[in-house]
Amino acid sequence: MLPVGPEPLLGRTLRQLAAAGCPDVVVACGGPHDRALRAFCALVPGVRLTPALPPAGTADACLAAWGEGDGPALCVYGDTWFPEGALRDLCAAPEGEARALLAPLGAERPQDWLCADLDPEGRIRGFLGHPRGGAYRVAGAFLLPAGFRRYLEANPGLGVRTPVGGMPHAEADLEESLNLLLRAGGRVRGQVPAVAPVDLDKPWHILAANAADVAERMRFATGVQAAAGTVVSPRADIRAPVVLEAGAEIGAGVVVRAPLYLCAGARITDGAIVAGPSLLGPGARVSDCARLDRAVIGPRAVVGHCAEITGVVMEGACIVHYSEIYGVVGRGVDIGAATVCGTLRFDDGTSRQRVGGPEGRWETPAEHGDACYFGDHSRTGVNVTLHPGRAIGAYACVGPAVLVTADVPERTLVQVRQELTVRPWGPERYGW
């Protein structure tokens, strides 16, 4: 349900499944966000929902969604951004063949992922949980052959095979059911798309997925592509491709130096600058010399007077006066004037991020390590400064002039306690 581009990720995935020719889609529901998921799917025709599931693992979720049938199925993880065509190509495999979508690890550590051991012919030798080495991670989509149900039912619920010294979690992972298929003599082929899918496991993956989405939307754009009812001022300086949906506007004095996508009703006006590939969601407004650099501005969000944005601003957030933001701004956040995110450490290093709550583990991201995070409906006062990599929790409030050096828990108020010196003063101090 996290936004990628102008909509929740799930909306994009459901459209891709329809384009891939999947006639019957079942969404496995459960967990703390079950109600939001059901509310969204209730508005999507042709989608069925499972009863609420306990968090027992992806194999059990797949089994519940499969129902009573045992024919071939495509299993897709809901928290993954897939490039266009990746799911369609996965479905084009020969009948009876099992396949798994993979992505190159690149700079990511294999210890942070479920990985696949791929041979030179493209066959998967096994799935491994957080191994010490590897070249490919599992990318969230699997073509499962008819008869696979028995491997889901035989899943021991002990996680995925790990190297010696590793500690698997006690869940029924779909990847371990695929290991059972391999041990029984079956075959699973790996499929690596040209553009890597993005698994939204960690906070910084929100930034990576949105950047990939903008790049995909603008990959073949040239010139100004404007739908009916749009406005493009002749006094705008447009130096890069622009796409405008119905009712969008580019006003006078706007400078576009990088690809820009405007959703329906979005407006960028009054000298705003686009310095890196960016997107404005439906009804979003950017104005008054604001600067966007690799920014995604959510529906009805407002960015104003000289604010500089790199990252993702979610629906309804407001950043209107002399701010410099790098990271993720949640829904309905109110950023006070001159709130600034530090973007470079004095040692030029990368900040560590704590993942999994106050007692979670520390990780050093391969990219976006110095990004900051503002939880939904949080707010800051004037002149707040965040150290690189810090987070403010949902419903938290940070008062004026606070220097945020550690993460602020959700539902917390942080204020500066001043120590003042007060003494007499007047013209006699100047020699009168």
Which CATH architecture does the domain made up of 211-414 adopt?
3 Solenoid (2.160)
CB atoms within 10 A of CB 273: 19
Tell me the pairing of strands 3-4 and 7-8: antiparallel
The helix or strand, by DSSP H or E, that contains position 217, with its residue range, turns out to be: helix 204-218
Angle, vertex CA 41, rays to CA 37 and CA 46, nearest 5: 150
**How is residue 74 written in tokens?**
């495509």
Q: Which DSSP symbol is given to 431?
A: T
- Residues 197-209 have pLDDT tens digits of 999 999 999 999 9
Angle, vertex CA 372, rays to CA 371 and CA 374, nearest 5: 145
Q: What is the pTM of this model?
A: 0.94
Using CA atoms, how far residue 296 sits from 214, 276, 277, 358, 379, in Å, is 8, 10, 9, 28, 19
CB atoms within 10 A of CB 120: 5
Per-residue pLDDT in tens (0 to 9) along the chain, 432 residues: 999 999 999 999 999 999 999 888 999 988 888 899 999 998 888 899 998 888 789 999 999 998 887 889 999 999 999 999 999 999 988 888 999 999 999 888 999 999 999 999 999 999 999 999 999 999 999 999 999 999 999 999 999 999 999 889 899 999 999 999 999 999 999 999 999 999 999 999 999 999 999 999 999 999 999 999 999 999 999 999 999 999 999 999 999 999 999 999 999 999 999 999 999 999 999 999 999 999 999 999 999 999 999 999 999 999 999 999 999 999 999 999 999 999 888 888 888 888 887 788 888 898 999 999 999 999 999 999 999 999 999 999 999 999 999 999 999 999 999 999 999 999 999 998
Please, are residues 140 and 170 in contact by the beta-carbon 8 Å criterion? no
Domain ranges of the chain: 3-199, 211-414
CB atoms within 10 A of CB 426: 7
Same fold, 3-199 and 211-414: no
3-199 CATH pick, 3.90.550.10, 3.40.390.30, 3.40.190.10, 3.90.950.20: 3.90.550.10
Q: Which DSSP symbol is given to 366?
A: S
Using CA atoms, how far residue 345 sits from 67, 103, 280, 308, 352, in Å, is 52, 31, 30, 19, 12
- Residues 100-112 have pLDDT tens digits of 999 999 888 999 9
**How is residue 330 written in tokens?**
């949640």
DSSP three-state, residue 351: coil
